[in-house]
Structure 1
Amino acid sequence: MNELRKLGLIEFIASPVVTGGVLHGSFARQGLVIESEQTHSSTEQMKGLCAGTWHMASTAFDNVLAWSGREGHEIVAIAPAAQGVALPVIVRPEIRSWDDLRGKPLAVDAVDTAYALVLRRILQAHGLEMDNGDYSLVPAGAPPQRYESMAKGETFAAILNPPWDHRAVEDGMTLFGDHREVLPDYPGAVYAVTRTFAESNRTWVTGFLKGLFDATGWLLDPATSDLAVRQMSAGEGGGEKPVRARLARVPRELTLNRDGLRVVLDLRVRFGMTPGLGSDLATYVDTSYAEEAMKTMR
């Protein structure tokens, strides 16, 4: 048997499709073993991707826009990692109105990327402008770190992705709103690679996507999904309900939602942060790997 090729994946939260694919042997059949790691921040994630510490990232598309070309590598999105996204704004108990956030520090991952811009857009809709000094942003890191910053009273609001939003509410914090009021078409995470790595390792990149597609079928096919959920919940030890909740956001196809990606690009331009490689969406997207994978999987 040929030795499996190791593919390093850096994520914010473990993907149910990757977890399921490992259990089902979807990646092994493509000659791959997936070594996944959870990041503490998008800065760590994207610097590591550019440095070759990891081969692929599951990340917000805005991080692709912000980092492509920054560390000497073009970065492109190749497939969706999540179908839709939940971006709830959580505030500390003492915050009773949007105006109570004036003068307060707010927790974000990085101050100039991804959900920080979403938070700015939500606050803008409620009359608060960062450029006017109405609030400040603190780069606290990923959702667990943002939650911790709020719990300590260092910051007063943040976008907290599930399950950290539920934990914060259980601890007495308040759900104040979410991205849908201003950005209803904001997309979920994408799988991203550097062009250099992808072009030199096309077989492995398409193999990863073939593994994703195979695992998705196993997870979502009514004939096998119950077995898949039982196996995943047994491995994770958290019961079947959270597994099923995560599967509800699994993309059915490897097709990127270009309209959603355009929303992300337009938001960055809105705040005067046009990506360094320009405002042409095609610069940051390469669907050829997914198209090649799908041809052989149909």
Structure 2
Amino acid sequence: MTPTLRVLWFVPPPVAVVAEGLAMVAEVTLLSRRNTSSDEQFEALASGETDAVVTAIDNVMDWNLRGGPQDFRVVAQLERTTPLTVVGQRDRTSLEDLRGATILVDAPRNGFIVALRAMLADADVGPEAYVLEPVGGVKERHDAIVSGRGHATLLGPPFDAMAIAAGLARLATVQGRYPAFPGQGLVVSSAALERMRPALSAWLRNLENARQSMGIAPEAARQALTLAGFPAPAVDAMLGATPASLVPDRAGIELLIEQRRRAGLPGADTTYEGLVESSLLGR
């Protein structure tokens, strides 16, 4: 009997799109849906409503401090990096211009915003100089900033390119400041890991095959992403973010820990070993 795996994500990771496009999903029945916030992901994992989520790895450091299982682990890294652009209204042209700004976020103390908070600190823009307004995931932030709400936000493909095409300004990129910034991870609870090991292992085999095919046959991967509806600039960014391995990158995760420490947020006392469980990958 084919195992079933329930997964939540903001946008399907490229390796998953390619795996589906190249019919690499026969070993597992994947029940996936889009979520609107990292809090929704946390609640679904904690309640057992879902088996796994694709999310910013930093989220795990915050989730493990909340009431609930406190046993969330990163079992794979599905992108080399998540290309992230700080976009702003037309009157904002630099990070320094975010003094006095309202910045739209998913959550104020976890996820990609931690990288932006560190970037602002490096630009001598302290946390007292701006307001963080939660509005939801990347699609929700895109829709809000394009409609004129807030002064700036952080977006990834394809929403960053869409926002700039709509006339918003590109202020900075996370990768320009932090080249080692890691992409999203596959996160489960330790209890779910044992219960769902056959399904997780099957899906990760599919994703590894897709990852390899993206390097060997990039045009087939490009076609799969294009047919899934992603615009050309987003496809280029996605292919460029293909991970060298599904094993979570130590340097990238240690960067996230340091960013959390730099932003003065709790959870920075963890370690790579405290966040990562790579046994599903044979490590």
Same fold (TM over 0.5): yes
Structure 1 residue 97, shift from structure 2 partner: 4.7
Does structure 2 conserve the Cα–Cα contact (< 8 Å) formed by 1:125 and 1:182? no
SS at 1:111 equivalent = coil
* CA shift for structure 1 position 136: 0.7
Q: CA deviation at 1:86?
A: 1.4
Deviations 1:87-107 (A, max 9, x none): 211110122454442222111
Deviations 1:213-250 (A, max 9, x none): 1222334323xx5445445544x255777545423322
Letter in 2 for 1:177: A
Distance in structure 1 (CA, Å) of the matches to 2:106 and 2:67 = 19
**SS where residue 8 of structure 2 aligns?**
strand
Tell me how far 1:202 sits from its aligned partner: 1.9
For 1:279 and 1:119, locate their aligned partners in 2 and report how far apart those are by CA, in whole Å: 20
Matched, 1:50 2:46: yes
Aligned counterpart for 2:266 among listed residues 259, 263, 274: 274
* Equivalent position amino acid for 2:174 in 1: H
Determine if the alignment matches structure 1 residue 146 to structure 2 residue 137.
Answer: no
CA shift, 1:27, in A, is 2.8
* CA distance in 1 between partners of 2:75 and 2:67 (Å): 19
What's the RMSD between the two structures over aligned residues?
2.3
Query: Conserved in 2, the CA contact under 8 Å of 1:105 and 1:136?
Result: yes
Contact 1:18 1:212 in 2 (8 A): yes
Deviation at 1:40, TM superposition (A): 0.9
Report the structure number with the largest CA radius of gyration: 1
Q: Is 1:80 matched up with 2:71? A: no
Q: What are structure 1's unaligned runs of at least 5 residues?
A: 293-298
- 2:213 matched to which residue of 1? 218
User: What secondary structure, in the 3-state scheme, does the structure 1 residue paired with 2:167 have?
Assistant: coil
Between the aligned partners of 2:176 and 2:246, the Cα distance in structure 1 is: 27
Structure-2 residue corresponding to 1:209: 204
Amino acid at match of 2:87: I
- In the alignment, what sits opposite 1:296? none
Residues 22-61 of structure 1 aligned to structure 2 (within 5 Å): 22-28=20-26, 30=27, 32-61=28-57
Q: Which residue of 2 aligns with 1:200?
A: 195
SS at match of 2:117: helix
Return the TM-score normalized by structure 1.
0.86
C-alpha distance in 1, partners of 2:117/2:230?
A: 34
Equivalence for 1:295: none
The one-letter code of the counterpart of 1:80 is Q
**1:151-230 to 2 correspondence within 5 Å?**
151-222=146-217, 225-230=218-223
- How many residue pairs get aligned? The number is 282
Instruction: Tell whether the 8 Å contact from 2:5 to 2:29 is kept in structure 1 after alignment.
Output: yes
Shift of 1:207: 1.6
Any stretches of 5+ residues in structure 2 without a counterpart?
Answer: none
Among candidates 132, 135, 148, match of residue 137 of structure 1:
132
